[in-house]
Amino acid sequence: MQTIVSFSNTDTVMQAAKLAFTQYQQIPDAEKANFLDRIAFEIETLADDLINITQAETNLPTPRLLGERGRTTMQLRMFAQMLREGTWVEASIDTAIPDKTPPKPDIRKMLVGIGPVIVFGASNFPYAYSTAGGDTASALAAGCSVVVKAHPAHIQTSTLMASAIAKAIEFCKMPAAIFQHVTADSFETGKALVQHPATAAVGFTGSFSGGKALYDYAAARPNPIPVFSEMGSTNPVLLLPNALETNAENIAKQYAGSITLGVGQFCTNPGILLGIASTSLDSFATTLATELALAAPSKMLHTGILKAYQLKSAKAIEQAGVTVHTNNIQSDITAQPLFTSVSGEIFLANPLLHEEVFGPYAILVVCKNETELITIWEILKGQLTTTLMGTAIDFENHAAIVQMAPQIAGRVLFNGVPTGVEVCASMVHSGPFPACTDSRFTAVGINAVKRWVRPVCFQNCPSNLLPIALKDENPLQILRLVDGEWKR
């Protein structure tokens, strides 16, 4: 297994990934499913060693890590199940009509793996969105080889996870280079991997500057490739008037929990709260400030993230017209939750306040009326999530807001908090740019596999040469669209 790679030997890695991809393509989905299950088993076998190492590297508490490990193995098993069921290839068959003028040929289509995929794991999800996380699991399920560029903030965790995958490769007799784990000492290595001719796609979770840089490297290739960068979001929450009149305190308590969950280190953290000036919005602000003051300062993932949080929040706080409602005593070790407010007019005029402050930070924008609230919300579009806190009366009185919500974000929540992303078929973890570089695809849930495939059409293909999913007798018994009719 590769552990250190420099700019000079990325070619060796990518040539191996290319060859392994071709070999892996020939392996039946049922065997790939066993391989994914085996990775989950090997991760579980790492037991407390894994949890202890990650705890030391990331400051994340054990219960959170146990939950995230469960999610990671569940994702692997979910994709294994998808492969066994088989319909994911979206097979369709349009049979020939020879006596049509001109004659209609036999045309069959299915999805196939796109090629070697580079995964840049997230620092804030050392298991579920890193080395053996959702991007790797979905790409391996799609039939792609994977090269993980290890995140430097949890390198030991990443190496241990990679060793679990290597064991699964050996046990299942998969091509050795179907998964490679590389560390890098400069951006040049990541850039060389993205720009290598054999690379077919890239998955990334992290900062806007990182995700956009990888996207630009890919666009500058002679043959551009897709880059699925998930770059975070401010996740605007709309606090509608009737909900505040009836429930301001409870909503504030709910949001104090969401803003501080995981020390605010979630891309779905609610960073911008929008409401229309009223006494109930004032009491929401008072309760939220009180609740956040009770939250103990906590360690962040690494000192770089802590420093970035302190710098960005300090910059936001010093802007004219911004009121700070919580203590602002920061330390070199822990992050203090921060809650500020500003008028809609000042917010509109100052784009710096629209930026994500990654950490336990939220700003309340006090709008003078619904028109100003909608104007601000529209400017913020390009989000992973947006949340409407409202009663039935609110949704009737503000129908335009309900109608507009899907234009803002990939996930629209009603009366909840955006932190917490369920892994299921209907989940969308994506959104218009700059939340993601391709809003058509989700990074979470079974549909994440669609980022790593492309459709291939077989025209007049002799039946003995057809892929098994497209054969007349449907040996896999999968659901297929045959001459416009769904059939097994």
The amino acid that residue 233 corresponds to is: S
151 lies in the binding site for ligand NAP (CB under 6 A):
yes
Omega within 30 of 0 (cis) for the link into 152: no
Among residues 206, 264, 410, 418, the one that binds ligand NAP under rule CB under 6 A: 206
409 lies in the binding site for ligand NAP (CB under 6 A):
no
Taking the least distance from each CB to ligand NAP, the nearer of 91 and 231 is 231
Contacts of 222 (CB under 8 A, 6+ apart): none
Taking the least distance from each CB to ligand NAP, the nearer of 231 and 453 is 231
Residues 354-373, one symbol each (x = binds ligand NAP by CB under 6 A, - = not), give ----x---------------
Contacts of 235 (CB under 8 A, 6+ apart): 268, 269, 270, 271, 272, 383, 384, 385, 386, 387, 409, 418
DSSP secondary structure code for residue 297 in this structure: P
Q: Give the CB-side neighbour count of residue 197, counting CA atoms within 13 A.
A: 4
Please, are residues 440 and 429 in contact by the beta-carbon 8 Å criterion?
Answer: no
Among residues 141, 160, 225, 305, the one that binds ligand NAP under rule CB under 6 A: 305
Angular region, 263: left φ>0, alpha ψ -120 to 50, beta rest: left
- Catalytic residue chosen out of the listed positions 144, 267, 367, 436: 267
Site for ligand NAP in 416-435 (CB under 6 A): none
Cα of first residue to Cα of last residue in the chain, in angstroms, is 41
- Catalytic residue chosen out of the listed positions 42, 57, 68, 230: 230
Residues 103-132, one symbol each (x = binds ligand NAP by CB under 6 A, - = not), give -----------------x-xxx--------
Minimum distance from CB of 127 to ligand NAP (Å)? 14
Taking the least distance from each CB to ligand NAP, the nearer of 110 and 448 is 448
Residues 160-199, one symbol each (x = binds ligand NAP by CB under 6 A, - = not), give ------------------------x--x--xx--------
For the question of residue 267 being annotated catalytic, the response is yes
Minimum distance from CB of 6 to ligand NAP (Å)? 12
Burial class of residue 324, CB neighbours in 10 A (0-12, 13-18, 19+)? middle
DSSP string, 88-100: GG--EEE--BTTS
For the question of residue 188 being annotated catalytic, the response is no
Among residues 80, 162, 231, 276, the one that binds ligand NAP under rule CB under 6 A: 231
207 lies in the binding site for ligand NAP (CB under 6 A):
yes
Gap between the Cα atoms of 272 and 382, Å rounded: 13
Gap between the Cα atoms of 201 and 355, Å rounded: 28
Among residues 28, 61, 70, 152, the one that binds ligand NAP under rule CB under 6 A: 152
Please, are residues 237 and 387 in contact by the beta-carbon 8 Å criterion?
Answer: yes
Q: Read off the tokens for 219.
A: 């666009």
Residues 232-271, one symbol each (x = binds ligand NAP by CB under 6 A, - = not), give x----------------------------------x----
Gap between the Cα atoms of 197 and 215, Å rounded: 15
146 lies in the binding site for ligand NAP (CB under 6 A):
no
Taking the least distance from each CB to ligand NAP, the nearer of 310 and 387 is 310
CA-CA-CA-CA torsion for 59, 64, 69, 70, nearest 10 degrees? 180
Please, are residues 358 and 305 in contact by the beta-carbon 8 Å criterion?
Answer: yes
Q: With contacts defined by CB under 6 A, name the span among 135-143, 200-208, 243-251, 449-457 that binds ligand NAP.
A: 200-208
**Contact footprint for ligand NAP (CB under 6 A):** 120, 122-124, 149, 151-152, 184, 187, 190-191, 205-207, 210, 213, 230-232, 267, 305, 308, 358
Q: Which residues are catalytic?
A: 230, 267
